[in-house]
Structure 1
Amino acid sequence: MRDIPTPKLATADVCDAKGVDALVLDLSLNDYGGRLDFAGPAVTLRTLDDNTKLKELVGTPGEGRVIVVDGRASERSALLGGNLAAMAAGNGWAGVILNACVRDVHELYREDIGIKAIGTCPRRSEKQNRGEIDAVVTIGGILIYPGDWVIADGDGVVVCRELPSL
């Protein structure tokens, strides 16, 4: 059983404080990482069934940021697995949110990183170097821009255009 620490920024508190400026993702995501609560500025990625650009991102210093991946809700393959999750955690990323699938779930839970995704798929992704980093993405009915603040916990995911002050 994982410890459930009190988040520094709880989504419910952010919603109460920011009102309509707290944008709530209208998408059911599952928790797969070792952290349930995480927050940070967004680095966005748009791709379809190809994790080449995601691998490129997790190999860079995360500096407490959150990777937000619009994988177009594809369930054909997994964009994140154990190796990339370990790399992301080791490089200081706070979390990864995927409108796509993950695999190696037993490995993901061991990593000190937040991971939210729509589901799982055992098939690996393509490696064709497709995708666009720092694209404006739409996930769960919300436009997410690079640099937006992403706050995630057991209640869901909230996006704010600037760091919420509570």
Structure 2
Amino acid sequence: MTDFAGHPLVVGVVAQQSPLVALTAVSLARATAASALYFAHVDTSRYADVENADGTVRHLSIDPDIDDDLWPEREAALKGTVGEWMEGQDVPWHFRYLAGRPDRALTHLARAVDAAAFVVGTHVGHHHRIADFVNGSVSMQLSHRQHRPVIVVPVSVVDWDERAPWE
């Protein structure tokens, strides 16, 4: 177990994510005196070629026949979104653009920065709930494949009268 006090948190970031995940991470960081927040997006269309000691990676396209030169734009857009969320916040933060399997990439980053926990959001929409149930959500994969706590932030209210995706 890594003590919360003074250790960073790793925050999973996906496109069009609710800022509530970042705000929850900021609140938790303040409460635990976290040294920083590491926001991380994992590009599953790429794989990590080299994993560096600071948690950064050199990555390549999964398909060698496709020259994916748009990833820097995706990285810049996501980093800009995180910057907007963190504007005016007093918690230091970093952004990492990772590649490969989300659970593995986030775990590598957490090990590299000696993070105390992960903060991830739930997916919104019926399609994502079914896919998560069938494939296993990132939060579920993280909770079974490493030792750090996983804080899952609900980003939408689900009425108890609604059917679960597997019903």
The TM-score, its normalising length taken from structure 1, stands at: 0.31
Q: Which has the higher contact order (CA 8 A, sep 6+)?
A: 1
Give the number of the structure whose residues are more often strand, by fraction.
1
Give the number of the structure whose residues are more often helix, by fraction.
2
> Quick check: which has more Rg, 1 or 2?
2
